């Protein structure tokens, strides 16, 4: 992966368009959330969501994929993946023996909310908002900036 564009509460990473992308996204999210001292349940959930969003973008998203991880002022975590494709993701019916097609259902099950935004320069951003994993006073002590 390229070097991160990282601030105290937000980090952005270029994702390679190859089979290693999901593994690298999982490692990035794990390392970043642990550095932010998130609880392990949130770290696990965030890794699963990142894997699904990145896998979809690499498989269907076009020439460039970017992962963004944000520790929001309210304590929640926002994961977002940008890609160059105008094709919108959609959930599909899958059979018991299908090996693919469950990604967005996993995201929906783990996230407080998720959605898709069309980008002005083309492409889209698929995002997921995850719960807070810190006590309320963690933010006051962390000094995170509002965006």
Sketch out the chain's domains with CATH numbers. 5-91+100-142 (3.30.565.10)
How far is the first Cα of the chain from the last one, in angstroms, to the nearest whole number?
26
pLDDT band for 101, please (50, 70, 90 cuts).
low
pLDDT of residue 13 exceeding 90, the answer is yes
Contact 103, 25 (CB under 8 A): no
Q: Any idea which residue has 């006051």 for tokens?
A: 140
Whole-angstrom distance, CA of residue 83 vs CA of residue 119: 9
pLDDT score recorded for residue 86: 84
Q: Is 75 left (phi over 0), alpha (psi -120 to 50) or beta?
A: left
Contact 103, 22 (CB under 8 A): no
Q: Which pLDDT tens digit goes with each residue over 15-25?
A: 988 888 999 99
Model-wide pTM > 0.85: no
């Amino acid at each position: 992966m390229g070097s991160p564009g990282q601030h105290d509460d937000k980090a952005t990473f270029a994702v390679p368009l190859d089979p290693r992308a999901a593994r690298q996204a999982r490692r990035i999210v794990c390392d970043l959330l642990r550095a932010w001292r998130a609880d392990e349940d949130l770290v696990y959930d965030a890794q699963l969501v990142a894997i699904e969003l990145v896998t979809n973008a690499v498989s269907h998203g076009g020439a460039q994929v970017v992962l963004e991880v944000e520790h929001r002022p309210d304590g929640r975590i926002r994961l977002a993946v940008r890609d160059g494709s105008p094709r919108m993701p959609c959930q599909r019916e899958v059979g018991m023996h299908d090996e693919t097609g469950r990604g967005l259902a996993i995201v929906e099950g783990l996230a407080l909310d998720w959605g898709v935004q069309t980008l002005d320069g083309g492409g889209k951003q698929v995002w997921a908002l995850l719960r807070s994993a810190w006590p309320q006073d963690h933010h006051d002590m962390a000094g995170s900036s509002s965006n």
